[in-house]
Structures are given as C-alpha cells and as structure tokens.
Amino acid sequence: MALITRDIPTRERLIHALDVPDPDAARATVETLGDSCWFYKIGLELFMAGGYFDLLDWLVAQDKRVFVDLKFFDVPATVGSAVRQLQGRGATFATVHGNDAIIEAAVENRGDTGILAVTVLTSLDEGDMRDLGFQADPRAVVLSRARRALALDCDGLVSSGLEVEQIREETGEKMIVVCPGIRPVVNREEDDQKRTVDVEEAFRFGADYIVVGRPIRNADDPARAAAEVQTRIEALFSS
C-alpha cells in the first residue's frame, strides 16, 4: 500500500527505545545520539530505576518527544488516575493494555497525551498465544483489538508491522500506528522479538512510527546506526 503521509516530521518517525538500567545511562545515550534521534521511548526498566518523571522532563527540555511505554493495565479507575498523572508533562504517547473499560478510562483522562492501545506484543507468536488461552492467531487478535480501539476513540495502536497492512485495510488512516520490533537488516539478530519487519517494510505496510532499540543501542557506533535508519526513512518519504 502507499505510505501514510501524515504531517509528521520525518526525523521524528524513528523512536529509539531507551531500554537502559537507569536515568544516567538514558541521558548519556541521548547525548551520544545527538541530532540522529528526536523521539524516545521510556519503559518499565527505567520506571523501576527511579527518577522516571525527572527523565521525562529532561527529555522534553531537550526538545525531544517522549513515548511513555508503561502498558497501563489495572482496574479502569486506577488506569484513569495513572494516565491523569501525565497531563501537562509533555509526553506525546502513552500505552494502555486491556479491555474496553480500561482503554476507555485511559482515553477519558489522556489530556494532551495520545493513547496507544497495545495489540499483541511482538515477542509473542501463535504458540505463545495458545499458552495464554487465546484460540486465535496473533493477526486475528490484533485486528479485533484495532477495531475496538478505533470504536473507543483511541489515538492509535502499537502493532507488529506484520499486521499493519490489514489494520489499514480495516480502519483506514484514522489511527496512528507505531511498530516496534524493527530489525533494520535482513539478517535479523536472534532475540526475543519473534514478529519483526525491517524499516522499509514497516512504513510500506502503513506504519507512522517505528521503534528501534537493540540495533541502535548495540551498534559499534549508535549515532551512526540511528543516522542510517533516518537516511532510509528520509529516502522513503522524499521519493
């Protein structure tokens, strides 16, 4: 399908996952990457390390965009209260994982933060889904959750690139789609991400943003690795 040409600065379509042990390591990574990355995902590891909101505030002060990836999942009242804590912080996105009532509570309390519904983690395949009690393949579950998120006025979804094309066929361009589990090279490294695509595949399938973690973090020159991904994105959207 055609690229989704939403009004997003090209340099912000790459989100780097700051999966590092503590805020000091996160700040060092941001400084190392410099102008090669303008959007960062901060998740559970950093949340448990302490200083999460200080880091969020610091990133915003550096003119970076921030994706709060805490996958809020609890009773609806608690999720609503948790999401409300982000109001005024400058976070661009936050993730929620759950049923309709949980998603609805997050949406009602989102303020200026876009709510992204998690569909199926990219680390899960069909066997994992069966272990969790789902008698359906991941694609069917993703599409079901996408329809629900759209009906609940969610801002977007987190989905493997493998399902994005079908999501777009069913929901059009109404929701933002963020694709994690990106492996920039065909010879993808062996890790816990089972349902992956590369940079060009994700955007051609209909992604708005991609999340790249280890291929940048573990590179010999992380800034160069991020810049190379940016070059590939720029080439796609300028052609």
**Rounded to whole angstroms, how far apart are CA atoms 41 and 39?**
7
Active site residue 71: yes
Distances 25 to 49, 110, 231 between C-alpha atoms, Å: 11, 29, 26
Report yes or no: 160 and 142 within 8 Å, Cβ to Cβ: yes
Active-site entry in 41, 64, 71, 174: 71
Show Cβ contacts of residue 109 under 8 Å, excluding neighbours closer than 6 positions.
80, 81, 83, 84, 87
**Rounded to whole angstroms, how far apart are CA atoms 155 and 120?**
17
Report yes or no: 98 and 79 within 8 Å, Cβ to Cβ: yes
Dump the DSSP string for 168-225: HHHHTTSSEEEE--B-SSSSPPPSS--S-B-HHHHHHHT-SEEEE-HHHHTSSSHHHH
Q: For residue 236, what are its two tokens?
A: 């796609």
Return the bridge partners of 158, or none: 118, 178
Residues with a catalytic annotation lie at: 71
